[in-house]
Amino acid sequence: MQRDFSAFFERYGWPAGRGRLPLCIGHRGASGYARENTLAAFRLAADLGAEMWELDTQLTKDGVVVVSHDDHLERVYGVGKRISKMMATELAALDGVDVPTFEAVADLARETGTGLYVELKAPGSGLACWQQLLEKGQRFACLGSFDTAQVRALRQAGCDYPLSVLVRVGDNPHVIGDEADADILHLCWERAGERPQDLVTPALMERAFARGREIVLWHEERRPILDEIMKLPVLGICTDQPDMMRNVPGGESKFGRQG
């Protein structure tokens, strides 16, 4: 099965020439090699060939969008504080903590020509991200969430960026897609056994495509699985190690055609 993504790219103003490969989406940057969701991880992902970065949004007490998977800083930084309880200036002043603002990550994306695949964590962060992207004319971006209400709220507000809904193992992606009114089904099935690729059936893909939806796949770092899912007609694949998709002997070039 092959798929031509050129209409999708044209519709949303994404850069031409990247429509026939699954995009390499650096999961929290190149988080397999650098601390996740930091400017260093994002820059490294771009250096390793990622066309997009997956990132997570939180809100400070004063409403500044910052990039962090967790509201609490304990797991990543060993600091017993919550982002939502601090002013942006307090967060920026913490020793040993490197949580960038969304604005800073978006600036780096423009500098490197990289797209932003934004996973909305904190409610309300989506509207703020959308407005920042609009102000900068930054079209190579997608906004999405596990929270169908956040995705639908953007749709109802008239967001003209592609909207993604993240789907957990066991959930019906088509039902979730309808609830969110999403353009993209992001299947987060990396923990669905030894061969999660078997769940991405032709019937599932054909039904999604018939409803006008594209598919993005989970973060994958297992070489045999990655080799298989790179052959699927999906829009993108997340990975902690972008070089596994891009800078590998015998691998397809960034702008090659999907077979």
pLDDT tens string 145-189: 999 999 999 999 999 999 999 999 999 999 999 999 999 999 999
CATH number at residue 194: 3.20.20.190
In a domain, 1, yes or no: no
What is the DSSP-derived secondary structure letter of residue 250? T
In a domain, 250, yes or no: no
In a domain, 251, yes or no: no
Domain count, the chain: 1
In a domain, 253, yes or no: no
In a domain, 252, yes or no: no
Please say if 27 is a catalytic residue: yes
In a domain, 97, yes or no: yes
pLDDT at 2: 81
pLDDT along the chain (259 residues), means of 10: 89 83 96 98 97 98 98 98 98 98 98 97 97 97 98 97 98 98 98 96 98 98 96 97 78 35
Residue with tokens 């309808």: 178
pLDDT at 20: 67
Tokens describing residue 185: 């089904």
Catalytic site residue from 27, 72, 174, 219: 27
In a domain, 180, yes or no: yes
Please say if 174 is a catalytic residue: no
In a domain, 56, yes or no: yes
Residue 239 sits in which domain range?
A: 6-244
